[in-house]
Amino acid sequence: MNSSLAKNGQLTQNTETGLEQNAAPSESRAAEGEISNGAMAGPASPALPAHLQDLTDRARGYVEAASSANTRRAYAADWKHFTAWCRRQNLSPLPPDPQVVGLYVTACASGSAVGTSARGSTPNSVSTIERRLAAIGWNCAQRGMSLNRKDRAIATVMAGIRNRHAAPPRQKEALLPEDLIAMLETLDRGSLRGLRDRAMLLIGFAGGLRRSEIVGLDLGRDQTEDGRGWIEISDKGMLVTLRGKTGWREVEIGRGSSDATCPVVAVETWIKFAKLARGPLFRRVTGQGKNVGPDRLNDQEVARLVKKAALAAGVRGDLPEIERGLKFSGHSLRAGLASSAEVDERHVQKQLGHASAEMTRRYQRRRDRFRVNLTKAAGL
C-alpha cells in the first residue's frame, strides 16, 4: 500500500499524497454520507443558472433510470459496508487503492472485517463478493475515479476466492402446472385481492415474467412514467410489451384451454371488478379488501405471494416447512414455464428474453432431468 507503518504500529503520513492515513475515518464517513437513495454526489460544481434547474432535475432522473432501484439500493448498501470496514481499519476508501480493496474482499471471504474467521461470523458468498466489488467500482465512477479490477492485488485474490469458495448456485424451485393450479385454489375468488393475485400468478407463469416485469405493467402505452411495459388484449390472447436491459421485447400469452386457468381471462376479470381504466395494472387493495388504490405494487409482493401460496398449497410437502419457505420466489414462476413447456427450446428462449440457449437450459430444471439415460444407452 501507499502508507508506511511507524514503529509503534500506527499508520503514518502517506509519502506520495502527503495525507495522513489516520484521517481516514472522517474521510470514510464523508464518502459514506454522500449516498442518498443510492445516487452518488459528484464533485462540487459551480451553481447553475435558475433556468437550467429543470434540465438538472431531468438529468438526475435519467441517471437514476440507468439502473434499477434494486441495484441502486444494493450498491448503496455495499458501499456503506466497504466504507465502514475502511473506517474500522483506519484506511481511506478514496481514492480507490487496489490493495485496500484486495484486503476488503479477503475479509468478506473469511467472514470478518479483520480478515480472520471469528466465532459466529458468516463468510460472504462468491456472488455477494463480486457484487460488492462491482458496487465499489460503480461508486468510484460516480465520483470521477476509476478502480482497476484487473490489478493483481484484486484479480489474483478474486481468482483464489473463486477457486476455494465457489459453489453451485442455489436455484429456486420451479413451479409446475399442477403446483400452480393447487396454489390458485388457495386464493379467494370472491375478493379483489384474490382476483388480483390469481391474475399475477397466471400471467407471471404463462409469460415467464420477472417479478419487476409483472408489477411494472400498465393497462396501455405511455400511461405512467415508472411503467416497464403494457398489455394489449385480443380474441386470441394478450400481447405484453416489455422494456428490458437490452431494449423492448414482446411476449405473447395465448388463451388457455380452460377459463379457470387462463391468464387472459384472469387479467380481464381483475380489470373488470377492479374498475381499472388506465395506469398500473396491479395495484394495492385497501379498505379491508374492498377498494383498489392508485399505487403500483412493489415487486417484493410477487415473491411474498408465490411463497405464501406455495406453502398453503403444500407444494414440496416432503420437506420441512423452513426448507420449503426457502425454495420458492418470484423466479419460481419463470422457471416453471421453462421446465414444463414441451415445445422447441427456441420458443422458450424467446418468451423468457434470454440472449443464449444456455441460459434457458439453466431454467429447465426438472423437464429434462434423466430424460436421456446414457447408462442404458451404453448397454449397462
Tell me the pLDDT tens digit for each residue of 195-212: 999 999 999 999 989 899
| Strand locations in 211-301 (E) | 217-218, 229-233, 237-244, 247-254, 283-286, 291-296
Q: Model's pTM, two decimal places?
A: 0.68
Q: Which of 22-26, 49-53, 92-96, 335-339 has the highest mean pLDDT?
A: 92-96
| Listed residue (59, 47, 79) closest to 143, CA to CA | 79
Tally the residues of the chain.
380
Q: What is the pLDDT of residue 113?
A: 54
Name all domains of the chain by residue range, CATH numbers in brackets. Answer: 21-40+64-165 (1.10.150.130), 177-363 (1.10.443.10)
pLDDT at site 160: 94
Q: How far apart are the first and last CA of the chain?
A: 60
Q: What is the pLDDT of residues 292-338, one digit of tens each?
A: 999 999 999 999 999 999 999 998 888 887 788 788 888 888 887 77
User: Which residues are paired to 291 by β-bridges?
Assistant: 286
pLDDT for position 348: 73
As a whole number of angstroms, the distance between CA 120 and CA 117 comes to 9
Please report the pLDDT score of residue 366 as a whole number: 58
- 338 φ, ψ (degrees, to nearest 5): -65, -30
Q: pLDDT band for position 106 (50/70/90)? A: very high
